[in-house]
Each structure stands twice: as C-alpha cells, then as structure tokens.
Amino acid sequence: MRVTALITGLLLLASTHAGVAEDAKKPDAKAGTSVEMPYLIAPLSSGEGLLAYAYISCKIVGASQAAAMEIQAKVPFIQDAFVRDVNASSIGKPDDPMAVDRATLGPRLLALAKKVMGPGKVTDLKLMEVQVRPLRPGATPPATSPS
C-alpha cells in the first residue's frame, strides 16, 4: 500500500515538473513576467455622439520577474494613463466607429505602460479580449474578439 502511494506521488511530482518545463519553453513570455490589468472601459463615439463602450482586457509583459513586480505595484498609475488616453482620442476604426481599432490601440497602450514604468521594464502588451456593448438597443456590435 505504501509502495503504491509512493509511486503515485512520484508520478504526480513528475507530471507537475513536466508542466512547469513546458511553460518555461513558451517563447511568449518568461514565467511570472506578465501582469493582467483590470478591465479598461473605453467609449466608442462618432459624430452622432456616444455609441457604445468597449471592455478591454490586456496584460503587460515585463522584462523580468522583478520588473513584473514593479509593474504590479504601479498598476493604478498605468490604468489611469490608459483611461485618460482612451477618453482623449477615439479607439474606434475610422470606417467603423462601433469596432475597436486593435492595430493602433495595442501600441498606444504599450507606449503608455513604458512611459509610466520607465526604460527597460516593459517588453510587450497583449490585448486579451475586446467586447463592445452598444448604448442603444438594436445597434449591432462586432463579435467579441479574443486574441
């Protein structure tokens, strides 16, 4: 009975170690270097006024685990910069104000995160999910777009 428990324990330990090793091989980011940001709520508007709100989730990738801890400590300041930016200028596509222009939003937010954190701390920003909720019934938002 003890032998069976020992073998089961060793197998669990080996499978856990293999999972950690697989995570370390991912080229996306080093383990423990990304910080998930709170949802960002951004207005989508046109000449007609406010059309919808976009709910955006993203994560910031730090240069190291130490940098990720510094990013985590400054999340309120980064979020404040994000909110000010998306309220100052449109995040909608020029030809479709009900859709978020992800191609320009990602680099804008990355530049802000780098500005708040200083040089060498932030390496990337990934937009995870974008959901658009129209203000007026009947308006059709684009499909939810995870990345």
**Together in a domain, 114 and 49:** yes
Residue 17 in contact with residue 5, Cβ under 8 Å? no
CA angle at 65 for the pair 63 and 68, rounded to the nearest 5°:
70
What CATH number corresponds to the domain at position 99?
A: 3.30.479
**Together in a domain, 56 and 92:** yes
89-131 pLDDT per residue, tens: 999 998 998 999 999 999 999 999 999 999 999 999 999 999 9
* Cα–Cα distance measured from residue 35 to residue 124, given in angstroms and rounded to the nearest whole number: 11
**Together in a domain, 5 and 63:** no
* Cα–Cα distance measured from residue 82 to residue 33, given in angstroms and rounded to the nearest whole number: 20
Q: Which two tokens stand for residue 39?
A: 């949802």
**Together in a domain, 97 and 138:** yes
Number of helices and strands in the chain (H, E) = 4, 7
Total tally of structural domains belonging to the chain: 2
48-58 pLDDT per residue, tens: 789 999 999 99
* The amino acid at 63: A
pLDDT reported for residue 135 = 87
Residue 40 in contact with residue 83, Cβ under 8 Å? yes
pTM score: 0.73
pLDDT reported for residue 31 = 72
pLDDT reported for residue 143 = 53
Residue 91 in contact with residue 130, Cβ under 8 Å? no
pLDDT confidence bin for 138, thresholds 50/70/90: low
Q: Which two tokens stand for residue 28?
A: 């996306």
Name beta bridge partners: 122.
62
**Together in a domain, 98 and 46:** yes
**Together in a domain, 21 and 82:** no
pLDDT confidence bin for 2, thresholds 50/70/90: low
**Together in a domain, 10 and 58:** no
pLDDT reported for residue 46 = 83
Q: Is the pLDDT of residue 70 over 90?
A: yes
Range of the domain at 114: 32-146
13-42 pLDDT per residue, tens: 444 344 434 444 444 556 778 999 999 999
Q: Which two tokens stand for residue 67?
A: 């940098």
Name beta bridge partners: 125.
60
